[in-house]
Amino acid sequence: MADLKDPMLMLLLWLIGGIIALAGALCYGEIGASIPKAGGEYAFLSKLFSHKLGFLSGWVSFVVGFSAPIAASSIGFSEYLYRAVPVIFEFSWIGPEGMKKIYSILIIVIFTMVHLRGVEFGAKVQNYLTFLKVLLVVGLVLFGFFLGSGDLGNLSISKEVKEIPVSWKTMGLSLMWIMFAFSGWNASVYIGSEIKRPERNIPLSLLVGTGIVSLLYLLINLLYIYAVPPKEMEGVIAIGGLAIGKLFGPDYESFFSLLVAFALFSSISAFIILGPRVYFAMAADGHFFKFASKVHPKYQVPAYSIIFQGIISVIIILSGTFDQILTYMGFSLGIFPIITVFGIFKLRREKLNKLRLPGYPLTPILYIVAGIMMLFLSFLERPMESSIAILTILAGLPAYYLFGMQKK
């Protein structure tokens, strides 16, 4: 909102983000049903194009895609917990900032242990957490609109703001941020080999999940605008707490912050489930550390990969807070899904697909064109972070050859 100024434009970009994610979900659904292997883009690109390209996508997942968001979500949990219950952070010899790191690390350790118990147990925990998070969002939307004191007049903007044009670069960067929020739309393909009836359940989970999330995102952003005038929204990170304070009074802000803190468990848990399956698939092909391919004899999960990911996430937390890293992550993670969606043309041409989902060829064209435009405009707006993202990908090339030598 600080960049766009216009709440209607912001809502439009959230709608466009949902449409792009649904287009991607249709493509991934067809690819995932045809190649039901663990590893997501790594498995798809290795099968459809080359092991080198697949490795680079897995390399980005390892460096950027999972460990960093786990750390960021854990830090977000501790920040909201501090906002809700500051008394449990008051240890004079450690201080609030030190306690935030301790609570963040503790959450990672707990969920790492949960998912070491097997995918069935972990899935049950994840389903309950996701259900509670959806319930929280739906409850907030319903109570906010029907009982809160907001103003739909906040959707309009002043004449002065209308006269200031918003650049394409700004809209492109804003849409990339939004697409980062949507980035879980392809999550189920990362555990493809562990899904029952993949030809049915992978496309179904992608489409239903993405559709529900798109609707929830639109409603929650509409509620934020209903609650908070655009000018007061600019630059605010804990927008949920501010919105509740405006709708129901400051007494409710602490309670809602506590709910948001626990709602973040769902995101942390999901990342911890998905990431290790990529490292496991890479290691099984000889393109990653050998220990990552070892499976726990009792729980049948890639235990060493799960523990390794947890250690990396803890290191990121201890190394400091995040500043421009979300732009870096958004750019890095936007590249390989575009290449993966290209794969659907090869899949259809060579008749390797096990089912045909509607929308072809419009859905892959929409996703590819929108994705390339977002990356291009984001590069123009934030060249430094974007360049670092590109360098991170290129750094995977020597790593690929080193692991190749290890394989020999």
- Domain borders along the chain are 7-407
Please give the Cα distance from 1 to 4 (Å, whole number): 5
Compute the mean pLDDT over every residue in the chain, rounded to the nearest whole number. Answer: 81
Number of Cβ within 10 Å of residue 49's Cβ equals 15
Beta-bridge partner residues of 38: 191
What is the CATH number assigned to the segment(s) 7-407?
1.20.1740.10
Number of Cβ within 10 Å of residue 147's Cβ equals 9
Per-residue tokens: 97: 């900032």
Cα–Cα distances in Å, from 234 out to 1, 3, 153, 249, 263?
5, 8, 17, 20, 24
What residues contact 16, with CB distance under 8 A and at least 6 apart? 175, 178, 370
Conformation bin of residue 39: beta by default, left when phi > 0, alpha when psi is -120 to 50: left
pLDDT of residue 217: 92
Per-residue pLDDT of the chain (408 residues; tens, 9 = 90+): 888 888 888 999 999 999 998 888 888 888 877 777 766 788 888 888 888 888 898 888 777 778 878 888 888 888 888 878 888 887 767 778 888 888 889 999 998 888 777 667 767 777 888 888 888 888 889 989 998 888 888 888 766 666 677 888 888 888 888 887 887 777 766 665 566 776 677 777 788 888 888 999 999 999 999 998 888 887 776 778 788 888 888 878 888 878 888 788 877 887 887 777 777 777 877 777 777 777 776 766 778 888 888 888 888 788 755 556 667 777 888 888 899 898 889 888 887 777 777 788 898 999 999 989 888 888 888 888 888 889 988 988 898 888 776 655
Q: How many CA atoms lie within 13 A of 122 on its CB side?
A: 25
The phi and psi torsions of 38 (rounded to 5 degrees) equal -70, 145
pLDDT of residue 360: 85
Contact between 140 and 223 (Cβ < 8 Å): yes
pLDDT of residue 188: 67
pLDDT of residue 125: 77
Give the distance, in angstroms, between the CA of residue 241 and the centroid of all CA atoms in the same chain. 21
